[in-house]
Amino acid sequence: MKGDYQDLVDEISALLGAPATLENRDFRLIAFGAHDSDDDLAMDPVRTRSILTRQSTADVRSWFEGFGIARATGPVRIPAAPDAGVFRGRICLPVRYRGIVQGYVWLLDQEPGKPGPGPAALDAAMEVAQRIGVLLAEEARAGADLSREFLAVLTAGPGWQQDMAVAALRAALGPGGDGLHAAVCVAPWPGEAPASVPGAAAVCVVPRRRGGEPGGAGGPGAAAGPGAGPEPAGDPALAVLLRLRSTDALAPALAAVARLLPRAAEATEPGGKGTDGKAAGAKAAGAKAAGAKAASGKGTGGKGTGGSAGATTTAVARGVTAGVADPVRGLADLPAAWEQAVAAARAAAAQPRFGPVAQWSAIGPYRLLATLAADPVDDPAARTLLTPANRELARTAEVFLDCAGQAGRAAAALGIHRQTLYYRLARVEQLTGLDLDEGEDRLLLHMALKASRMA
């Protein structure tokens, strides 16, 4: 289908005598026309970045949307703004289908004093833009139409049921089913699946099961077994099956995922539908740090996402996170990849340093902890330590164990004197009955402290 887009973009370029670029509604580049101008003003920073990185920043998107392009039904002329990196004015052709914007065709406007494209040429270009809109809508609908098959793969029981579901999804995807994919979990997700997600082969909303975890085939959220009784319903999660050209294409694909988080947060009020009030309060404490991290470009969700720090902070504060599995070839390993994505989303919610969009490969010990039962940790040894009255002692023990039992490093990380550290650790031993000189006791306490974040 990419070839179809390129042909249509080239047709618009020929009609208007200027190189055109096509972006989807999220300002991700789809196709662009040949550019052979020696004019330095033609390749301004905004156009250069769009072509080289295949996306625009949130600030650029906001600036252009300020001219009403999302509501326009005809060409929109946008003046040059050197301060914004736009050295040459633009002509924007909104790409619509049945009144819904699907993307935008961009052209460089003529220099001041020179005649630009006439009304007849612009009308002809808009007819081509309408054909592009049909293609974009069909592509989005194809992903949405696969929601039933995709959901069946993620929720089918192990064995022949799962094999049949995978075979049905592979048949629906056609040759693309044998390509490289990455599974993504966004949780919680209120409402229906979005009409389209850039780069997605399929999207669906997955019901949440016991413990608030998205249910999956054989996963931690699966039913306890015969006689266990119905599990209480919880907030659903959004599942996205990303198409990848190569593993290097994962980073730009995650930019689209990061932009889903604010959308979910807008419909998720703290303490209301879509979040657990207690969880929302806990996430708010780490929201500022996570938002700053994403804005700086550090971590999985920050680099190249183009998301604003404010939107990211809101999403994290309201408990909305995303997890991304390791890419898989074909669909046979998709159920296992979904479990990875769920685990990464849970880890991102428990540990803000992973960022609002966490990759399974980067969450360390949370790979194992996230696959444990979703019920709150209630180990007798750690029960007293995990009460609110002993929060500082629990933090001290966790930092000490994170520092591999090195007292000097732990004291420095906590900002306390070493003797104060020893006193607190002695209290931890008294409360837990554990010996922190014993490796297995350390392991038990460390697991209990980390797992308590996953509740």
Residues 332-384 have pLDDT tens digits of 999 999 999 999 998 898 888 888 899 999 998 888 887 765 555 678 888 88
DSSP 289-313: HHHHHHHHT-STTTTTT---HHHHH
The per-residue pLDDT for 4 is: 78
Q: 68 or 378, which is more confident?
A: 68
Backbone phi, psi, residue 29, to 5°: -70, 135
Preceding omega of 190 cis (within 30 degrees of 0): no
Q: 62 or 290, which is more confident?
A: 62
pLDDT of 253 strictly over 80 = no
- Do 214 and 163 fall within a single domain? yes
Q: 226 vs 134, 218, 230, 404, CA distance in Å?
A: 48, 14, 10, 43
Residue 273: which domain range? 146-369
The per-residue pLDDT for 211 is: 45
The per-residue pLDDT for 209 is: 56
Q: 94 or 89, which is more confident?
A: 94
pLDDT of 92 strictly over 80 = yes
- Do 251 and 271 fall within a single domain? yes
CB within 8 Å of 51: residues ≥ 6 apart: 21, 29, 32
pLDDT of 275 strictly over 80 = no
- Do 384 and 410 fall within a single domain? yes
The per-residue pLDDT for 235 is: 72
What confidence tier does 12 reach under pLDDT thresholds 50, 70, 90?
very high
For 157, other C-beta atoms within 10 Å of its C-beta total 12
Domain assignment present for 218: yes
- Do 160 and 54 fall within a single domain? no
Tokens of 322: 């995303």
What beta strand segments (E) does 330-452 contain? 357-359
Instruction: Give tens-digit pLDDT for 140-153.
Output: 666 557 888 999 99
- Do 357 and 444 fall within a single domain? no
The per-residue pLDDT for 433 is: 92
Q: 132 or 276, which is more confident?
A: 132
Number of folded domains that form the chain: 3
Compute the distance between CA of residue 142 and CA of residue 326 in angstroms, rounded to an integer. Answer: 24
pLDDT of 117 strictly over 60 = yes
Preceding omega of 230 cis (within 30 degrees of 0): no
What confidence tier does 217 reach under pLDDT thresholds 50, 70, 90?
very low
Q: 42 or 248, which is more confident?
A: 248
Instruction: Report the percent of the chain where pLDDT is more than 90.
Output: 30
Q: Which of 32-36, 192-196, 427-431 has the lowest mean pLDDT?
A: 32-36
pLDDT of 218 strictly over 60 = no
Mean pLDDT of 254-265: 76
pTM beyond cutoff 0.95: no
Q: 294 or 160, which is more confident?
A: 160
The per-residue pLDDT for 245 is: 77
pLDDT of 274 strictly over 50 = no
Identify the domain boundary among 322, 341, 369. 369
Identify the domain boundary among 340, 369, 398. 369
The per-residue pLDDT for 381 is: 85
Domain assignment present for 176: yes
Compute the distance between CA of residue 11 and CA of residue 129 in angstroms, rounded to an integer. Answer: 10
- Do 36 and 94 fall within a single domain? yes
Q: 222 or 435, which is more confident?
A: 435
Treating both helix axes as pointing N-terminal to C-terminal, what angle do 160-173 and 334-350 enclose, rounded to 10 degrees? 90
Compute the distance between CA of residue 68 and CA of residue 74 in angstroms, rounded to an integer. Answer: 11
- Do 169 and 79 fall within a single domain? no
Looking up residue 108, the CATH number of its domain turns out to be 3.30.450.40
Identify the CA nearest to 68 among candidates 100, 92, 97.
92
Mean pLDDT of 393-402: 92
Helical (H) or strand (E) element with 287: helix 277-296
Mean pLDDT of 94-119: 82
Q: Which of 92-106, 148-162, 205-219 has the lowest mean pLDDT?
A: 205-219
Domain assignment present for 188: yes
**Strand bridging mode 76-78 / 180-187:** unpaired
- Do 152 and 300 fall within a single domain? yes
Backbone phi, psi, residue 107, to 5°: -135, 150
CB within 8 Å of 136: residues ≥ 6 apart: 24, 95, 97, 102, 103, 196
The per-residue pLDDT for 370 is: 76
pLDDT of 291 strictly over 70 = no
* Residue matched to tokens 């914007």: 101
pLDDT of 325 strictly over 80 = yes
pLDDT of 198 strictly over 90 = no
For 298, other C-beta atoms within 10 Å of its C-beta total 13
Instruction: Report the percent of the chain where pLDDT is more than 70.
Output: 71
Q: 103 or 230, which is more confident?
A: 103
What confidence tier does 454 reach under pLDDT thresholds 50, 70, 90?
confident
Looking up residue 429, the CATH number of its domain turns out to be 1.10.10.2840
Mean pLDDT of 21-29: 85
What confidence tier does 262 reach under pLDDT thresholds 50, 70, 90?
confident
CB within 8 Å of 54: residues ≥ 6 apart: 28, 29, 252
- Do 312 and 412 fall within a single domain? no
- Do 38 and 122 fall within a single domain? yes
Domain assignment present for 374: no
Mean pLDDT of 435-442: 91
Q: Count of alpha carbons within 13 Å of 305, Cβ hemisphere only?
A: 29
pLDDT of 302 strictly over 50 = no
- Do 332 and 389 fall within a single domain? no
Tell me the pLDDT of the chain averaged across its residues.
Answer: 76
What confidence tier does 420 reach under pLDDT thresholds 50, 70, 90?
very high
Domain assignment present for 241: yes
The per-residue pLDDT for 278 is: 35
The per-residue pLDDT for 286 is: 38
Identify the domain boundary among 341, 369, 397. 369
The Cα angle at residue 291 between residues 288 and 292, in degrees rounded to 5: 85
- Do 420 and 333 fall within a single domain? no
Domain assignment present for 375: no
Q: Which of 81-95, 165-179, 433-447 has the lowest mean pLDDT?
A: 81-95
What confidence tier does 279 reach under pLDDT thresholds 50, 70, 90?
very low
Residue type, 54: R
